[in-house]
């Protein structure tokens, strides 16, 4: 699940490094590893600039997280698979966070232009998602309209996402 309720305390640099160390072991096409993680820890010198990257809706809750991470993919390193490979690295980061007792929420709702400006991105680096990471808080800490959404989203049944052989008849 991708919670929105976070305890407003910073992650440590060691925690952030442990998360990204796990992510860097993700497989990638031709071992290009076309990802980069730019981050701000809650309250550090980069926090204010990073807080402008998520859209207004996401800022309502994500600024309580202990860190904000912008996942970048390098389209020069892997023109065809940079986004796919970066997504795999995100998955490894999310699994490591869970193992550490932390929660993550990847956001597609952000300004790529703002991320580019804040991070001084060259054209070949693509901001894929912004990831909020931290200790999970009780849903009661959220604005009222978000509390009801603080539940695990349903998943499609296995038979809708798995097929033996041809797919056309099953999707």
pLDDT-above-90 percentage for the chain: 85
Q: For residue range 18-61, what is the model confidence (pLDDT) as tens digits?
A: 999 999 999 999 999 999 999 999 999 999 999 999 999 999 99
pLDDT at residue 163 is higher than 90: no
Helix residue ranges per DSSP H, 26-128: 47-50, 56-62, 82-99, 112-119
State the Cα angle at 89 between 29 and 71, rounded to 5°. Answer: 110
Q: Could you give the CA distance from residue 33 to residue 106 in angstroms, rounded to a whole number?
A: 20
| Residue-level pLDDT at 170 | 61
**HSE (side-chain half, CA atoms, 13 Å) at 4:** 21
3-class state of residue 62 by DSSP = helix
| Residue-level pLDDT at 169 | 61
Overall pTM surpassing 0.95 (yes/no): no
| Residue-level pLDDT at 129 | 98
Q: Which residues contact 18 (CB under 8 A, 6 or more apart)?
A: 96, 100
Q: Nearest CA to 108 among 75, 62, 154?
A: 62
What's the Cα-to-Cα distance from 99 to each of 51, 102, 103, rounded to whole Å? 26, 7, 9
Radius of gyration of the chain (CA): 17
Q: Do residues 146 and 61 lie in contact, with contact meaning Cβ atoms separated by under 8 Å? A: yes
| Residue-level pLDDT at 75 | 97
Q: For residue range 75-134, what is the model confidence (pLDDT) as tens digits?
A: 999 999 999 999 999 999 999 999 999 999 999 999 999 999 999 999 999 999 999 999
Q: Could you give the CA distance from residue 38 to residue 95 in angstroms, rounded to a whole number?
A: 19
Q: Do residues 103 and 138 lie in contact, with contact meaning Cβ atoms separated by under 8 Å? A: no
Q: Could you give the CA distance from residue 23 to residue 12 in angstroms, rounded to a whole number?
A: 17
């Amino acid at each position: 699940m991708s919670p929105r309720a976070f305890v407003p305390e910073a992650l440590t640099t060691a925690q952030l490094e442990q998360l990204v160390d796990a992510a860097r072991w993700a497989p990638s096409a031709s071992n290009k590893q076309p990802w980069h993680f730019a981050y701000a820890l809650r309250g550090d010198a980069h926090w204010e600039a990073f807080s402008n990257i998520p859209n207004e809706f996401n800022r309502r809750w994500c600024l309580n997280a202990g860190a904000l991470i912008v996942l970048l993919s390098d389209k020069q390193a892997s023109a065809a698979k940079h986004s796919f490979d970066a997504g795999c690295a995100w998955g490894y980061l999310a699994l490591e966070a869970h193992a550490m007792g932390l929660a993550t929420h990847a956001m597609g709702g952000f300004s790529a232009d703002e991320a580019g400006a804040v991070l001084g991105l060259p054209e070949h680096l693509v901001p894929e998602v912004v990831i909020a990471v931290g200790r999970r808080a009780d849903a009661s800490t959220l604005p009222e309209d978000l509390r009801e959404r603080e539940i695990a989203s349903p998943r499609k049944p296995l038979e809708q996402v798995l097929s033996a052989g041809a797919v056309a008849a099953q999707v």
